[in-house]
Amino acid sequence: MTGSFLQAFGSLLLVVLFAFAVLFFVKKFIYKDFTGFSKKTNLSFKVISQVSLLPKKTIFLVKVFDRILVVGVTDAAINILSEIDDKGVIDDIETSFSEKGTTTDNAKFLNILKSNLGIKP
């Protein structure tokens, strides 16, 4: 009985070590240059701000190359609500969110959204 237990334990140990070796090989050599969407990568888009309207309903300001998209996200869909191409407006948006002021990001976001929709903030 003890011999079969040791043999089963040894086999299990070999399988676990083989799995770790395969995972190490994959991580080290196959995905060597893959960094995904970590903060280390220099992506051409970034989320500037977000505001939650309801649970599972959010509006995002996303910078994509040289424009800003206003994107509505729900649990069922993602829709582009507006697109901002004007360089001056883009610079104003980026500076307003990069400054650390007394207003919250949600208030800044709503003021920018209202001004771009033509509504007085």
Is residue 39 in a domain? no
d(CA 24, CA 18): 10
> Are residue 30 and residue 50 in the same domain, yes or no?
no
**Total-model pTM:** 0.50
Residue range of the domain that includes 2? 1-34
> Are residue 53 and residue 86 in the same domain, yes or no?
yes
Q: Flag whether pLDDT at 33 surpasses 70.
A: no
Is residue 40 in a domain? no
How many structural domains are present in the chain?
Answer: 2
Q: What would the pLDDT profile of 58-90 be if each residue is shown by its tens digit?
A: 999 888 888 889 999 999 999 999 898 888 888
Q: Flag whether pLDDT at 43 surpasses 70.
A: no
Tally of CB atoms within 10 A around 69: 16
> Are residue 99 and residue 57 in the same domain, yes or no?
yes
Provide, rounded to the nearest whole percent, the portion of the chain with pLDDT above 70: 77
> Are residue 73 and residue 109 in the same domain, yes or no?
yes
> Are residue 28 and residue 80 in the same domain, yes or no?
no
Give first-to-last CA distance, the chain, whole Å. Answer: 80
> Are residue 113 and residue 55 in the same domain, yes or no?
yes
> Are residue 3 and residue 29 in the same domain, yes or no?
yes
- β-bridge mates for residue 79, sequence order: 72
Q: How confident is the model at residue 18 (pLDDT cuts 50, 70, 90)?
A: very high
